Structure 1
C-alpha cells in the first residue's frame, strides 16, 4: 500500500493539535500571589547539569497550597551569571496538581565542574535565584570536593540556624542530607533547659500525619523556614530519606505500632510521594507501584563516589519494637545472665 507523504504529515499534525487541545483547555493562569513561598532547590549534580525544583504554593499552609486544582505552566532559566545576562538553558514545565504543583527539571547540556544560577517564572513573577555546581567529568582528576552534611531537622526541637551558616560557607559542591527532613509527630512543643530556665520553641501545627495532604502540609511548614531555604539556594542537595519522612522506626511494610502491613503501605506510599514532590530529585526517583527508587550514586571525577542508600524499604522488620516482643533486653538489663534467663529452650529447638 502506497502512502502519500503529504497526507501522512497532515494527519500527524492533526493528531498533535488534537492531543494538545485538552491540555491547553485546562491550563490555569499563574497565581496572582507570590507562588514561590516554599523556595527553590537544586539536586543530584552530574557533569552536564543537575535537577532544579520548586513547588507552587501562594498560601502554603492552606489546602493545596492555595492553588486551584489545575495545571500551571512554569518557566525556568539557567545562566552563567547571577544577573542572567548569559542564559544558557531555558524552557517550560507544567506544575500539576497531582504532584502538589511541584516541578522537577533535569537540566542538561551544561559544562562540567562550574557554578550556574537558576530561577523560575510563573507568569510575570520571578522566584529567588539559586546556585548549583555541576560535577566534574567522569574519571577527571579532582583535588578537592567540599560537601556539607545535614539531617534530623526536627522542627519542634529548635531553629534551623545551622542552615544559615551552611548557606554562607561558599564554594560548596553539594549538601548531603541523610534524612529525617520532616518529623511526622503531633503538635508537641520542644523544650529545653537553658541557664536554669525552660525554653520552648516552635511546634507542629497539626496532629500526627497520615494522608498525602497531611504530608504535603508538613513539608510546607518546614520549607517555610528561611534558613532552610537559604541552604537550598546555596548548593545542590544530595537527598535521602530515613524513618521520620514516613513514621518512626518503620521498615519495609511494617511500622512500630503493629499496623497491618496492607494498611501501613497506604500511608507509606503517601509519604514517599510527598517526599518526591518536595525533594530536588530526578525522574528515576518517581514513585510507582507503591515504592520509590531512592538509592543511586553520584561521582565527582576520580576522587569520590557517593552511594545514596535506602536503609528502610528493603530491610527485615526490626526486633523489639512492640511491648511483649520476646528475647529483647529491657532498659534495666545489666548483662548476659538477664538475657539468657528469658530464653525459652523451644527457641533452640526451632533452629
Structure 2
C-alpha cells in the first residue's frame, strides 16, 4: 500500500488497520502535506516505507510507485495530480480525496479503467456495496444520506450568527477544519452528489439527498422493483477505509457492529434547500460540467478560510460560491479538457473569490 495524506484522519485510521492486520497489508509509500512533521517522521520510522516525502510532488511520485493499492487521503484540489499518477501507473486507487474526481472528472475518467477507483467516502462506499445487489440497468436512483450537520433545522437568519467554533462541532465525526466546515454548510454533500454522478454514471436527476441525523445508514440504492438496499454501520470511517484498502474483500473486525439489543430511533428528513443551498449549487455545477465543478470547489476553499478568519459570516461561504459560479464562463468541452484547464479554473476561482471578499469589507 501507498498512503497519501498519512497524518490526516483517513491516513491515521488506515495505518491503524495496517497495524491490526500486519499479515495482510504492507506500507511501501507514505506522504503528507507537512503540517505535522513530527507525526510523519514517527510513521516513517515505524513502517519503514521504500518511499516517503512531504508535499504535492512527493505524493504524485509516491502514487506512481508499484503498489496493489494507493489510498489518496489528501484533502483539497492538490490531490488531483497524485490521483492521475496512481491511475496512469495502473494502481488501484482508494479514493478519499473527492476533490480530485470532482474538479478533474473528465480527466480522471479518461485515464481510469473499469473498477480501478474504489470510493472511500462513507456514502459512496455504501453505494458501491449496495450496488452489488443488482445489475446497473436495475438501478432507479441513488440516495445519499446527510447528517444535516450541527445546524440542522436552523433558518438562514439563524445560520448567519454561526461562529467558527460552532461550525467545527460535527455531531458524529472528528475531521479536519475544511471537511468539518463543509459538512456544516452541506457543501460536502454537494461535492458528494457530483462524485456519485461521476463514480456510478447515474444522472443528477436520479441522485437524491435525504437528511438522516444518526448516520447509521450510510447511503442507499433504490432498484426498479421498489426494493431499497442500504449499507448500515456505526457512524465512523473504518469500514469504508478498510473496503478501500481490500476491495472487493472485507477486513475482519475493522469496526464494531451495531448493538441490536439496544433500542434506537432513526429519522429521515427532507433537505432544506432554502437554508442550505449548497447542494443545489453543486448540482448546477455538475450539470454544466467542464470547469464548473473545479470553480465550485476552489471558491469554497477560499471562503472557508475567510469564515474562520472572521472576514465573512457563515452564510457568506455559499453566497460567495454562488457569485463566483455566476461569473465563470471559461468552459471547455469535456472531451478536450486538460489538467491545465482545470488548474487555471481553480486559480481563477480563488482569485475571483478573494476579489469578491475584498469588496465586502
| Higher Cα radius of gyration | 1
TM-score of the superposed pair, with normalisation by structure 1: 0.25
- Higher share of residues assigned helix: 2
- Higher share of residues assigned strand: 1
TM-score of the superposed pair, with normalisation by structure 2: 0.25
